A = this chain, B = another copy of it.
Amino acid sequence: MVRMSGNARESGRSTTSRVLALLAAFSRRRPELTLTELAALSGLPPATTHRLAAELLDWGALERAADGRFQVGLRLWEIGALTPAHRELRSAAIPFMEDLYEATHENVQLAVRDGLEVLFVDKISGDSSVVTLTDVGGRAPLHATAVGKIILAFSEPELFAEVAGRELPRSTPHTITLPSVLAQALRAARRDQVAYSLEERSLGASSVAAPVRQADGTLVAALSVVARSSKNVRGLAFAVRTAALGLSRRLAGQGSA
Select A16's contact among B19, B60, B101, B125, beta carbons within 8 Å: B19
Contact with B along A72-100 (1 / 0, CB 8 A): 11111111111111110001001100100
Q: Does A20 make an interface contact (CB < 8 A)? A: yes
A56 at interface, CB cutoff 8 A: yes
Question: A23 — which chain B residues lie within 8 A by C-beta?
Answer: 61, 79
Cβ contacts under 8 Å, A61 to chain B: 20, 23
Interface pair B77/A136, CB less than 8 Å apart: no
Are B59 and A20 within 8 A (Cβ)? yes
- 0/1 interface trace, chain A 1-39, chain B, CB 8 Å (1 if under): 000000000000011110110011011100100000000
Q: A14-B55, A136-B91 are in contact. Are A79 and B76 (CB under 8 A)?
A: yes
Minimum CB distance partner of A62 in chain B: B83
> In whole angstroms, what is the CA distance A216 to B155 when docked?
49
Q: Is A112 interfacial (CB-CB < 8 Å)?
A: yes
Contact of A98 among B31, B79, B124 (CB under 8 A): B124
Determine if B74 and A119 form an interchain contact, defined as CB atoms under 8 angstroms apart. yes
In the complex, A20 Cα to B72 Cα: how many Å? 14
Which partner residue on chain B sits nearest A76 by CB separation?
B80
Interface size class of A (residues with CB under 8 A): 35 or more
Beyond A16-B56, A55-B16, A78-B119, whether A71 also contacts B83 by CB under 8 A is yes
Which residue of chain B has the shortest Cβ distance to A26 in the bound complex?
B82
A31 pairs with B87, CB closer than 8 A = yes
Inter-subunit contact B80/A72 (CB<8 Å): yes
Q: Are A83 and B72 in contact (CB under 8 A)?
A: yes
Whether, in the assembled complex, A253 has its beta carbon less than 8 Å from a beta carbon of chain B, the answer is no
Taking CB atoms, residues of chain B closer than 8 Å to A94 are: 124-125
Picked from B17, B81, B114, B126, the residue with its CB within 8 Å of the CB of A95 is B126
Shortest distance in angstroms between A206's beta carbon and chain B's nearest beta carbon? 22
Sampled A-B contacts (6; CB under 8 Å): A16-B55, A20-B56, A20-B59, A74-B112, A77-B81, A77-B85
Binding site for B on A (CB under 8 A): 14-17, 19-20, 23-24, 26-28, 31, 52, 55-56, 59-61, 63, 65, 71-87, 91, 94-95, 98, 101-102, 112, 114, 119, 124-127, 135-137
Per CB-CB distance, the 10 closest pairs between chain A and chain B, nearest first, are A80-B80, A81-B137, A77-B80, A15-B15, A77-B83, A72-B82, A72-B83, A16-B55, A76-B80, A31-B82
